[in-house]
Amino acid sequence: MRVAVLGPIAKDCVKIDNNLSFQIGGIPYYIATALKSLSIEKITPYITCGPEDNQWVKDSFGDVEVKCLPAEKTLEAILEYSPNNPDERQHLIKYYSNIIEPSRELLKELEDYDYIIFGPLFHDNIPFDLFCQLKHKKLVLGNFGIFTYEENGKFVRKNPENLLKVSPFLKYLFLDKNEAEFVSGKKTINEAAEYFQDQGITNLIITDGSNGSHLFLEKKYYQIPAFKPLKVVDPTGAGDTYLAAFIKSLELFNNPEEQGRFAAMVATISLEEKGAFKKSLQDVLNRLAV
């Protein structure tokens, strides 16, 4: 399996129970690192950052080959988590323009990948034209970014129709419970799923933190429980890690329940360590066996 992931990276300041840490963040970082650790055949992150941060980005990704695309400046974020509930957080952001333009060179390179994962943090990171140009590929969208705007340093959700506009092009859509309910205007996960299915989305995954996840795949439904972590060290990127693990699971298992359990376990393990998921595929299989 060959996977490309596109989006901005960020400089994250993470605060948990008055403990501060500074680290690289952004959806492509967590997804690419997890896929590399899970022994994907090829993973290439196409990321935007300020030119002054190119070397820092490449060093942070380690042995993952990174393609740095030009941006005004690297995004900066402050994430503060509740020490008692990792599902709760406050999020502040310094916004800069980080648009991935659908250049001829980029489009040509992306033809070489089986899955293309879009990881925007803001509504303008991935232009609509990029979805259109790649609609013949297996496209994955996995977060709130496409309907997220910056106002006074905070994330603000607006224009849910942004997601509906690109939904016909998607092979898989990943949202958390709050995002799914915001876009659909519904009050339950099942009602939200029915709404998205009416919009033509055939593969929808809705995560709900410690309450587990819900797979709506080709008109079939699977409820996947969450695994209890041994300890919670850093919840940042757990949803992105779940997405990465689910994509990897498609080549490991034919059963959607096994795919969901695998993704849930990888996400749980990611909570137990600082930064991105870096355990091995065998580590995950061993935990599932237990």
Tens digit of pLDDT for each residue in 258-285?
Answer: 999 999 999 999 999 888 999 999 999 9
pLDDT digits (tens, 9 = 90+) for 126-141: 999 999 999 999 999 9
Q: Which of 26, 82, 78 is nearest to 56 (CA)?
A: 26
Rounded to two decimals, the pTM is 0.91
Domain ranges of the chain: 2-289
pLDDT band at 84 (very low <50, low <70, confident <90, very high): low
β-strands 170-176, 203-207 pairing: parallel
E strand intervals along the chain: 2-8, 10-16, 19-25, 42-49, 67-70, 75-81, 89-94, 115-118, 138-141, 148-151, 154-157, 170-176, 203-207, 213-217, 220-224
pLDDT tens sequence across 194-213 = 999 999 999 999 999 889 99
Residue 118 pLDDT greater than 80, yes or no? yes
pLDDT of residue 127: 96
CATH architecture label of 2-289: 3-Layer(aba) Sandwich (3.40)
Half-sphere exposure of 179 (CA within 13 A, CB side): 23
Q: According to the model, what pLDDT value does residue 83 have?
A: 60
Q: What is the pLDDT of residue 144?
A: 81
* pLDDT 10s digits, 19-77: 767 788 899 999 999 999 999 999 999 999 999 999 999 999 999 999 999 999 999 88
**pLDDT at position 133:** 96
Count helices and strands in the chain by DSSP H and E runs:
10, 15
Is 247's pLDDT higher than 80? yes
List CB contacts of 7: < 8 A, sequence separation 6 or more. Answer: 26, 27, 28, 47, 48, 100, 118, 119, 120, 121, 125, 126, 145
